[in-house]
Amino acid sequence: MPMARAREDVIPPTRSYKGACLQRSEPISSLPIVRPTNLIPTSTHFKVMAPAVTKVVYKPDSQSTDEYTVVINPEEYHKWKGGDKTIPLASVVDSFSVFHSSQGAQGLLGKPSNQQLETVFGTSKDVDVVTKILEGGREQKVNGLNQPPTTLNPANSGGEIRR
C-alpha cells in the first residue's frame, strides 16, 4: 500500500500569504513549523500485540473440551496457592470475570451462563467460582494474542477486524 507523505516544502521566509479573513506579511520563520518524524501509513493493517497475560484454566474433567478461565496476577497467585490465604482474592485475580470456551484452548472465550456455573461448580457466585478455579486449575502464561485478522465479506470490501 502507498504511504502518505508529509509535505516538506518550505515557503520562503518573507513571502506574503492570504487567509480567508486576514492578510499577513511577516517572516514565516516566526511561525512554528511542524515536521512529522515518521510517515503515517494509509493502510489500516497494523500488527497489534497484547501484553503477556497469565491465566488459570480449569477443566471439569480430562475428557471435556470445556474450559473455564480466570486472568490472574502471577506473583500474588503463587503466594495464595502456597498457603497464604490472607491475601485478598481481589489482589490475586485481575477481575472476577470468568471466561468459558467449549472448544478447548483454540476456542473463543465467552461469559458462561449462571446455569453452566451451577452445573460445574455448584454455585453461580463469582467469588466461589473463582476460588474453585484457582484451587483446581492450572496456570498458563500467554505471551500475547497474535491471531490473524477475521475478514468480513471480502467480496463486498467488508474490511478486517483485528482481535
More confident: 50 or 106: 106
Q: Which fold has domain 53-142?
A: 3.30.1250
| pLDDT of the residue at 11 | 47
DSSP per-residue codes, 90-139? HHHBS-S--EEESSGGGSPPBPPPHHHHHHHHS---HHHHHHHHHHH-EE
Cell numbers linked to 28: 514565516
Q: End-to-end CA distance of the chain: give it in Å, rounded.
A: 22
Across the chain, mean pLDDT equals 73
More confident: 148 or 129: 129
> In the chain, what are the domain boundaries?
53-142
Beta strands in 5-98 (DSSP E): 17-18, 23-24, 53-58, 67-72
| pLDDT of the residue at 161 | 52
| Mean pLDDT computed over 96-104 | 86
CB atoms < 10 A from the CB of 77, how many? 20
| pLDDT of the residue at 125 | 94
Confidence band, pLDDT 50/70/90 cuts, at residue 146: very low
| pLDDT of the residue at 76 | 92
| pLDDT of the residue at 120 | 93
Alpha-carbon distance of 89 to 74, in angstroms, equals: 12
The model's pTM is 0.57
For 32-87, the pLDDT digits (tens) are 555 555 445 544 555 555 567 889 999 998 888 889 999 999 999 999 999 888 99
